[in-house]
Chain A
């Protein structure tokens, strides 16, 4: 799909497109996913879910279900509460504009008293077989008195809307702000032009390929729990189980996330089923397993996005940006998920400056509760929403002022000599060269040749459009001090342990978690390059609190920038200790020992030790003083970044619309990213391809739709929810520029989310560009064929009349 992978160096070090070592087991069906595991004596949990969106639970009759064949237990929310199980936590707190704390709804593991969304757990059946559990579940008598329900932002914010929480009048659970409102007002007062847009950021269902699963096990002899779960961050799940939900000492819980088939954020949260599996295992005295089916995933995996924004950009007549004003309503769902309130606030609004020098910015965000699945992070998490706002309004301003969209961006970019650059919203951009990325992307996309292609399309009756997106994101979450002073409940550093075996092979224990990203390859490349050992001699271990010292997991494109940097620091310590030992063995001053090309050498001599020789010597303490230098060669490091990283780049989307059917076909798609140092270009290309697929999916295809009256999920299966497929996507042209991150040792910025962040505005700017010729002003995402056809028909009517 792209040209870059062919151009990379041979070998296995940094910059080499090494084939993924994990793929052998994945492709040959030898991966080990939670659902593949069999535990002795295991039994099955079936979670009974609410079929109504809002109602009072009058009664749940369990007698018939309890008496059904194979049933070991039937539990409702009160049973868990009575046993001391805590509510699901929200790990992020924001304050209202008036300084009061946000409203925090209680979020029982299994509903108590009231249900608030379709899919909310109302009971659990444990039985010998999954079939028996499901059969028994049908015998439950769940009686719920319906209450009026509301699913959409428009309905929830309308006067007289049904109230979902007493503590959230008007269904607003927090009203937060950022920026200098007075400065923005004054800039608007002197603006030549104000561009305006209403923007919908459509709700999405993540749909990781592997549905969520959990197995709980309890060792009554030791009083220890083991939870296998499809999680992106097993240590975080252990902390939350220990301190909030299960309330068992941390050292009595082991959480294992084995191979996991995709996360995209949706597996970064603490879910009811994790608590249920662990708790029920002790309760019934047998391992308890649960695996979601796809229908269940649609109504229980946390959803993403769902914003409604009013945005205004004040400009001079020559297109200089003076100020940006944004007002956003964010659908939180019925309860707060683990990071829920962080996504439309901390992870969203600070990025509204985009790649531009905008002197004044103000944004207010209303968190809105509705009778829907809780909303949380989904690939990009807040940053796609911010990028959509700024990149759409910039295009609108260009169109209003008659300036080329590339030119208006260039005029307002943060110049490359301005780094580090502090935005109006407090972020400090570390490095970048936005104009270089734009120039490279325009050349690669043959931007200059577009008018001729548009004409050729027109001759075939097609409407052709081109759209740009000059995105930026804050990754590498994150500097713990910034996170914790902004509402986060814990730090976001990362840990690594590098263990050198006596034979010189290396085991890396990382707190990052790979659920498809290829860390076992990328991290091994780092270590291979630094220690000069073959790639095959490096084993990367992740996803097990019983084996890994600590970890905060994988999300927010943080694994290489933060997790990789922790590995780098641990390697530094290994090399430093190796030099001490080598100095004794080689009878040289420590300051004269160098580590070069996999050898500890005495400068200016031919004396040296290979890395395996040093590794063996470290474990055979004869020639160095073991009272002064500890034997062994194992080092642990914790890395807390000093700033976020700021990947940026330019996407160019070119598409053709068939006015007869409204179908948009993306015909060319160009990406130029700046991810800083790239370790494995093939893997990074893959991340870009996947991200762009999801971004094009959001813009043209995917839409999570609830019925406005009943709050039933209408797009609850792949029959109605349009996942992007291979034939929906064009061949991608992917290239890079490199401005290394100056504050981490690798220079890496992170690449996991960029595609999903940049693509939606590029695609929608292209759609709007294509439709402008027919007098269509704007179209909301997703620009489905039906919606585009409607817009064309509506625009044609006045002309006909």
Chain B
């Protein structure tokens, strides 16, 4: 770790003021290992852990509002969420391991936009809105590429608003070593139609219009039989080729559909 200035603001306004020249520290599940390996050298860390207004889960009719600093573990065990949008609780309960879930936050995960993170599939797949210190950004416009988002420098995520889907489920094939998604597929029947969002397989979360069309015709796993996304441009690493990831996307999508369909 290199030396850095550390501040712990008590209000969101102060945080945003200080954030422009620094880096926000949420759960630290990505940032801290990066710092320890000396792969990043921020001049200032702005710790968001003393900001209660960024925490908490609220169900407002057909919208679930999750504060940016809400821990994965809290999302996973929220009884309210398990009723309103169980897909979110299940997704959060499958992130990393208990240590990660007790520290990691939804805002940190979404702002980081790791290509293999789980939450981006929920934001895109459910058509959520990212509410920041400056504006509201539609989920469809938020993720712009590998580790990059529509956030401007110093812009802070306050919360994420998820429309409650009619039914939805998330299935992921975890990387055997890291347990990040190698192919994570969120399938949702929303007010705006069927949405299928894929994380882990490509450089950035993406939707699969062919799957959405097939599932619009018939919301059943068999509707995806024989469909496979092109492997061009998918991720390649020690644990899987692009072809393997393409195949896994179909398998995970089918499992998510089966799970969602079973919810009725």
Contacts and interface: CB of A to CB of B under 8 A. Distances in A.
Interface string B1-37: 1010000000000000000000000000000000001
A295 B36 CA distance: 11
A793 B241 CA distance: 13
Nearest to A138: B38
Given A661-B251, A705-B238, A784-B239, A721 B177 contact: yes
Contact of A722 (B37, B176, B237, B248): B176
A33 B240 CA distance: 39
B114 to A, nearest CB: 11
A718 B177 contact: yes
Interface of A: 131, 134, 295, 660-662, 701, 703, 705, 714-715, 718-723, 784-786, 789-790, 793
A793 B1 CA distance: 45
A785 B245 CA distance: 11
Given A295-B37, A790-B244, A784 B251 contact: no
Contact of A789 (B1, B37, B244): B244
B177 A719 contact: yes
A159 B248 CA distance: 39
Contact of A720 (B238, B241, B244, B247): B238
B247 A722 contact: no
Quick one: which of B3, B173, B176, B240 has the most chain A CB within 10 A? B176
A701 B238 CA distance: 12
Interface string B105-145: 00000000000000000000000000000000000000000
B173 A784 contact: no
B238 A714 contact: yes
Nearest to A789: B244
A720 B239 CA distance: 8
A721 B177 CA distance: 6
A660 B238 contact: no
A786 B178 contact: no
Contacts of B244: 662, 786, 789-790
B173 to A, nearest CB: 6
B45 to A, nearest CB: 17
7 contacts: A660-B251, A720-B238, A721-B177, A722-B177, A784-B239, A786-B240, A786-B241
Contacts of B237: 720
A588 B226 CA distance: 94
Given A295-B37, A719-B178, A786 B247 contact: no
A720 B173 CA distance: 15
Interface string B234-254: 000111110010011001000
Interface in B133-175: 173
B176 A661 contact: no
Given A719-B177, A720-B178, A784-B176, 19 more contacts: A131-B3, A134-B38, A660-B251, A661-B173, A661-B248, A661-B251, A701-B176, A701-B177, A703-B238, A718-B178, A720-B177, A722-B176, A784-B239, A785-B173, A786-B239, A786-B240, A786-B241, A790-B241, A793-B247
Contacts of B37: 295
Contact of B247 (A703, A715, A789): A789
B140 to A, nearest CB: 30
Interface of B: 1, 3, 37-38, 173, 176-178, 237-241, 244, 247-248, 251
A785 B241 CA distance: 11
Contacts of A723: 177
B176 A785 contact: yes
Contacts of A789: 244, 247
A-B complex: 8 closest residue pairs judged by Cβ atoms: A722-B177, A719-B178, A722-B176, A660-B251, A786-B240, A786-B244, A720-B177, A720-B238
A460 to B, nearest CB: 14
A718 B251 CA distance: 26
B113 to A, nearest CB: 17
A661 B247 CA distance: 8
Nearest to B37: A295
A134 B173 CA distance: 38
A786 B247 CA distance: 11
Quick one: which of A714, A715, A719, A790 has the most chain B CB within 10 A? A719
Contacts of B251: 660-661
A715 B238 contact: yes
Contacts of A662: 244
Contacts of B238: 703, 705, 714-715, 720
A330 to B, nearest CB: 23
A721 B251 CA distance: 25
A427 B173 CA distance: 48
A720 to B, nearest CB: 5
B232 to A, nearest CB: 18
B39 to A, nearest CB: 11
Contacts of A134: 38
Nearest to B244: A786
A705 B177 CA distance: 13
Contacts of B240: 785-786
Contacts of B176: 701, 722, 784-785
A776 to B, nearest CB: 16
Contacts of A718: 177-178
A789 B247 CA distance: 10
Quick one: which of A714, A723, A784 has the most chain B CB within 10 A? A784
A715 B38 CA distance: 19
Contacts of A661: 173, 248, 251
Contacts of B38: 134
Contacts of B3: 131
Nearest to B36: A293
Contacts of A714: 238
A722 B247 CA distance: 22
Nearest to B1: A131
A793 B237 CA distance: 19
Contacts of A790: 241, 244
Contacts of A295: 37
A233 B247 CA distance: 50
A212 B169 CA distance: 45
Nearest to B183: A661
Contacts of A715: 238
Contacts of A131: 1, 3
A316 to B, nearest CB: 42
Contacts of A785: 173, 176, 239-240
Contacts of B1: 131
A695 to B, nearest CB: 17
A790 B239 CA distance: 12
A784 B176 CA distance: 8
A340 B238 CA distance: 28
A793 B228 CA distance: 14
Nearest to A705: B238
Contacts of A721: 177
A660 B3 CA distance: 48
Nearest to A700: B176
Nearest to B239: A786
